[in-house]
Amino acid sequence: MSDGRYAGRRFLFVLGATAAGGSSELLARHAATALPPGVPQDWKRLTELPLAAFHDAGYAGEPTGATPTGNERILLDATLAATDLVVVSPLYWYSVSASMKLYLDYWGGWLRLPDVAFRPRMRGKTMWVVTAFGGQDPTSAGPLLEALRRSADYLGMGWGGAVVGHGIRRLDGCLLDPVAVARAEELFRPDFVDQDEWEPVAGRTESGVDTGGQRR
Protein backbone atom coordinates (compact mmCIF):
# COMPACT_ATOMS: atom_id res chain seq x y z
CA MET A 1 0.00 0.00 0.00
CA SER A 2 1.33 3.39 -0.92
CA ASP A 3 1.55 5.76 2.02
CA GLY A 4 1.06 8.73 -0.31
CA ARG A 5 -2.50 7.69 -1.05
CA TYR A 6 -3.33 8.20 2.63
CA ALA A 7 -1.68 11.57 3.15
CA GLY A 8 -4.03 13.77 5.15
CA ARG A 9 -6.42 10.91 5.93
CA ARG A 10 -7.83 10.34 9.42
CA PHE A 11 -9.86 7.23 10.25
CA LEU A 12 -12.62 7.23 12.86
CA PHE A 13 -13.73 3.77 14.01
CA VAL A 14 -17.11 3.95 15.75
CA LEU A 15 -17.72 0.79 17.78
CA GLY A 16 -21.36 -0.10 18.33
CA ALA A 17 -21.25 -3.44 20.14
CA THR A 18 -22.55 -3.77 23.69
CA ALA A 19 -19.34 -5.47 24.82
CA ALA A 20 -15.70 -5.07 23.88
CA GLY A 21 -13.83 -7.67 21.88
CA GLY A 22 -16.66 -8.98 19.71
CA SER A 23 -16.23 -10.28 16.18
CA SER A 24 -17.07 -7.02 14.41
CA GLU A 25 -14.50 -5.14 16.49
CA LEU A 26 -11.85 -7.82 15.99
CA LEU A 27 -12.39 -7.67 12.23
CA ALA A 28 -12.12 -3.87 12.30
CA ARG A 29 -8.91 -3.96 14.32
CA HIS A 30 -7.52 -6.54 11.92
CA ALA A 31 -8.39 -4.28 8.99
CA ALA A 32 -6.75 -1.30 10.69
CA THR A 33 -3.39 -3.09 10.85
CA ALA A 34 -3.16 -2.71 7.07
CA LEU A 35 -3.20 1.08 7.27
CA PRO A 36 0.21 2.68 6.80
CA PRO A 37 2.07 3.70 9.95
CA GLY A 38 1.35 7.29 10.87
CA VAL A 39 -2.21 7.37 9.52
CA PRO A 40 -4.26 8.71 12.47
CA GLN A 41 -6.80 6.30 13.92
CA ASP A 42 -9.45 7.41 16.40
CA TRP A 43 -11.45 4.65 18.11
CA LYS A 44 -14.69 5.60 19.82
CA ARG A 45 -16.68 3.01 21.78
CA LEU A 46 -20.29 4.15 22.02
CA THR A 47 -20.92 2.34 25.30
CA GLU A 48 -18.24 4.55 26.84
CA LEU A 49 -19.83 7.68 25.37
CA PRO A 50 -23.54 7.14 26.04
CA LEU A 51 -25.99 9.56 24.46
CA ALA A 52 -29.37 10.62 25.77
CA ALA A 53 -32.45 9.51 23.87
CA PHE A 54 -32.61 11.49 20.64
CA HIS A 55 -35.22 14.24 20.50
CA ASP A 56 -35.76 15.88 17.13
CA ALA A 57 -36.57 19.42 18.18
CA GLY A 58 -37.07 20.58 14.61
CA TYR A 59 -39.91 18.18 13.88
CA ALA A 60 -41.41 18.94 17.27
CA GLY A 61 -41.59 22.61 16.31
CA GLU A 62 -39.15 23.57 19.04
CA PRO A 63 -36.14 25.89 18.71
CA THR A 64 -33.01 24.24 17.36
CA GLY A 65 -29.40 25.24 17.55
CA ALA A 66 -28.43 24.22 21.08
CA THR A 67 -24.66 23.80 21.32
CA PRO A 68 -23.71 20.13 21.75
CA THR A 69 -21.94 19.31 25.01
CA GLY A 70 -20.50 16.28 26.78
CA ASN A 71 -20.43 12.99 24.89
CA GLU A 72 -22.41 14.46 22.02
CA ARG A 73 -19.71 17.10 21.53
CA ILE A 74 -16.98 14.46 21.63
CA LEU A 75 -18.67 12.37 18.96
CA LEU A 76 -19.55 15.36 16.79
CA ASP A 77 -15.99 16.67 16.85
CA ALA A 78 -14.55 13.23 16.10
CA THR A 79 -16.98 12.71 13.23
CA LEU A 80 -16.16 16.04 11.63
CA ALA A 81 -12.41 15.62 12.13
CA ALA A 82 -12.31 12.31 10.26
CA THR A 83 -11.88 11.87 6.54
CA ASP A 84 -12.92 8.23 6.76
CA LEU A 85 -15.72 6.92 8.99
CA VAL A 86 -15.74 3.20 9.80
CA VAL A 87 -19.06 1.96 11.17
CA VAL A 88 -18.34 -1.13 13.27
CA SER A 89 -21.49 -2.85 14.47
CA PRO A 90 -22.90 -6.33 14.97
CA LEU A 91 -26.04 -7.19 13.07
CA TYR A 92 -29.20 -6.86 15.17
CA TRP A 93 -32.57 -7.51 13.51
CA TYR A 94 -31.00 -6.83 10.11
CA SER A 95 -29.73 -3.43 11.23
CA VAL A 96 -27.05 -1.81 13.36
CA SER A 97 -26.97 -1.96 17.14
CA ALA A 98 -29.13 0.35 19.24
CA SER A 99 -26.19 2.56 20.24
CA MET A 100 -25.07 2.89 16.62
CA LYS A 101 -28.59 3.76 15.49
CA LEU A 102 -28.77 6.42 18.20
CA TYR A 103 -25.44 7.89 17.05
CA LEU A 104 -26.78 8.05 13.50
CA ASP A 105 -30.03 9.61 14.74
CA TYR A 106 -27.94 12.43 16.21
CA TRP A 107 -26.71 13.17 12.70
CA GLY A 108 -30.23 14.40 11.99
CA GLY A 109 -29.96 16.85 14.86
CA TRP A 110 -26.51 18.01 13.79
CA LEU A 111 -27.89 18.76 10.33
CA ARG A 112 -30.12 21.39 11.97
CA LEU A 113 -27.29 23.21 13.75
CA PRO A 114 -26.50 26.29 11.62
CA ASP A 115 -23.08 26.86 13.15
CA VAL A 116 -21.92 23.29 12.50
CA ALA A 117 -22.51 23.03 8.73
CA PHE A 118 -22.70 19.29 9.19
CA ARG A 119 -23.78 18.32 5.70
CA PRO A 120 -21.17 20.35 3.81
CA ARG A 121 -18.45 19.09 6.15
CA MET A 122 -19.49 15.45 5.71
CA ARG A 123 -19.43 15.74 1.94
CA GLY A 124 -16.41 14.02 0.46
CA LYS A 125 -15.69 11.80 3.45
CA THR A 126 -15.69 8.03 2.93
CA MET A 127 -17.82 5.52 4.82
CA TRP A 128 -16.70 1.96 5.50
CA VAL A 129 -18.62 -0.79 7.29
CA VAL A 130 -17.55 -3.80 9.34
CA THR A 131 -20.25 -6.09 10.67
CA ALA A 132 -20.59 -9.68 11.86
CA PHE A 133 -23.33 -12.09 12.85
CA GLY A 134 -23.84 -15.76 13.59
CA GLY A 135 -25.94 -16.78 10.58
CA GLN A 136 -24.71 -18.35 7.37
CA ASP A 137 -26.68 -16.28 4.84
CA PRO A 138 -24.60 -13.24 3.78
CA THR A 139 -27.68 -11.51 2.37
CA SER A 140 -28.93 -10.99 5.93
CA ALA A 141 -26.58 -8.01 6.10
CA GLY A 142 -28.18 -6.43 3.03
CA PRO A 143 -30.64 -4.13 4.85
CA LEU A 144 -27.91 -2.84 7.18
CA LEU A 145 -25.55 -2.09 4.31
CA GLU A 146 -28.28 -0.54 2.18
CA ALA A 147 -29.31 1.83 4.99
CA LEU A 148 -25.73 2.94 5.58
CA ARG A 149 -25.00 3.30 1.88
CA ARG A 150 -28.06 5.49 1.44
CA SER A 151 -27.09 7.57 4.47
CA ALA A 152 -23.63 8.12 3.03
CA ASP A 153 -25.09 9.05 -0.35
CA TYR A 154 -27.52 11.52 1.24
CA LEU A 155 -24.60 13.41 2.77
CA GLY A 156 -22.43 13.22 -0.33
CA MET A 157 -20.03 10.74 1.24
CA GLY A 158 -18.18 8.12 -0.73
CA TRP A 159 -18.67 4.42 -0.11
CA GLY A 160 -15.43 2.61 0.63
CA GLY A 161 -16.75 -0.91 1.06
CA ALA A 162 -17.78 -3.45 3.66
CA VAL A 163 -16.59 -6.54 5.45
CA VAL A 164 -19.29 -8.96 6.59
CA GLY A 165 -18.38 -11.83 8.87
CA HIS A 166 -21.11 -14.47 8.84
CA GLY A 167 -21.28 -17.89 10.45
CA ILE A 168 -18.62 -16.41 12.69
CA ARG A 169 -17.49 -17.88 15.99
CA ARG A 170 -14.72 -16.77 18.31
CA LEU A 171 -12.29 -18.97 20.19
CA ASP A 172 -9.86 -17.32 22.61
CA GLY A 173 -10.20 -14.04 20.76
CA CYS A 174 -9.33 -15.55 17.38
CA LEU A 175 -11.61 -15.13 14.39
CA LEU A 176 -12.63 -18.35 12.71
CA ASP A 177 -14.02 -16.91 9.47
CA PRO A 178 -11.05 -16.98 7.06
CA VAL A 179 -12.98 -15.25 4.26
CA ALA A 180 -13.93 -12.31 6.47
CA VAL A 181 -10.39 -12.10 7.82
CA ALA A 182 -8.98 -12.00 4.30
CA ARG A 183 -11.43 -9.27 3.26
CA ALA A 184 -10.58 -7.28 6.37
CA GLU A 185 -6.92 -7.38 5.39
CA GLU A 186 -7.84 -5.89 2.01
CA LEU A 187 -10.52 -3.41 3.10
CA PHE A 188 -8.41 -0.25 3.14
CA ARG A 189 -6.26 -1.14 0.16
CA PRO A 190 -6.65 1.14 -2.87
CA ASP A 191 -7.59 -1.83 -5.08
CA PHE A 192 -10.28 -3.19 -2.73
CA VAL A 193 -13.38 -4.32 -4.64
CA ASP A 194 -16.67 -4.31 -2.77
CA GLN A 195 -18.92 -7.35 -3.12
CA ASP A 196 -22.56 -7.54 -4.17
CA GLU A 197 -23.34 -10.83 -2.41
CA TRP A 198 -25.34 -8.93 0.20
CA GLU A 199 -28.20 -8.37 -2.26
CA PRO A 200 -31.45 -10.00 -1.07
CA VAL A 201 -32.33 -13.37 -2.57
CA ALA A 202 -36.01 -14.24 -2.99
CA GLY A 203 -37.17 -16.96 -0.66
CA ARG A 204 -34.22 -16.76 1.72
CA THR A 205 -35.37 -15.87 5.20
CA GLU A 206 -32.60 -17.11 7.47
CA SER A 207 -32.56 -15.09 10.65
CA GLY A 208 -29.95 -12.40 11.03
CA VAL A 209 -30.88 -11.83 14.66
CA ASP A 210 -28.21 -11.71 17.33
CA THR A 211 -29.83 -13.51 20.24
CA GLY A 212 -27.34 -12.10 22.71
CA GLY A 213 -25.66 -15.43 23.33
CA GLN A 214 -22.47 -14.31 21.63
CA ARG A 215 -20.55 -11.10 21.43
CA ARG A 216 -20.25 -9.94 17.87
| Rounded CA separation 111/172 (Å) | 42
Any idea of the CA torsion for 64, 67, 71, 76, to the nearest 10 degrees? 80
Number of domains comprising the chain: 1
Examine residue 32 and state whether it is found in any structural domain, yes or no: yes
**pLDDT computed for residue 57 by the predictor:** 73
Contact 216, 24 (CB under 8 A): yes
Examine residue 46 and state whether it is found in any structural domain, yes or no: yes
Question: Could you tell me the residue range of the domain that residue 55 belongs to?
Answer: 3-186
CATH number for position 128: 3.40.50.360
Examine residue 20 and state whether it is found in any structural domain, yes or no: yes
pLDDT surpasses 90 at 58: no
* Helices 98-110 and 70-81, packing angle to 10 deg: 80
Examine residue 111 and state whether it is found in any structural domain, yes or no: yes
Full-model pTM: 0.87
Examine residue 59 and state whether it is found in any structural domain, yes or no: yes
Instruction: Read off the pLDDT of residues 143-196 as tens digits, 9 standing for 90 and up.
Output: 999 999 999 999 999 999 999 998 666 656 667 788 889 999 999 998 888 876
Examine residue 68 and state whether it is found in any structural domain, yes or no: yes
Higher pLDDT, 18 or 199: 18
Examine residue 176 and state whether it is found in any structural domain, yes or no: yes
Examine residue 207 and state whether it is found in any structural domain, yes or no: no
Instruction: Read off the pLDDT of residues 94-139 as tens digits, 9 standing for 90 and up.
Output: 999 999 999 999 999 999 998 999 999 999 999 999 999 988 887 8
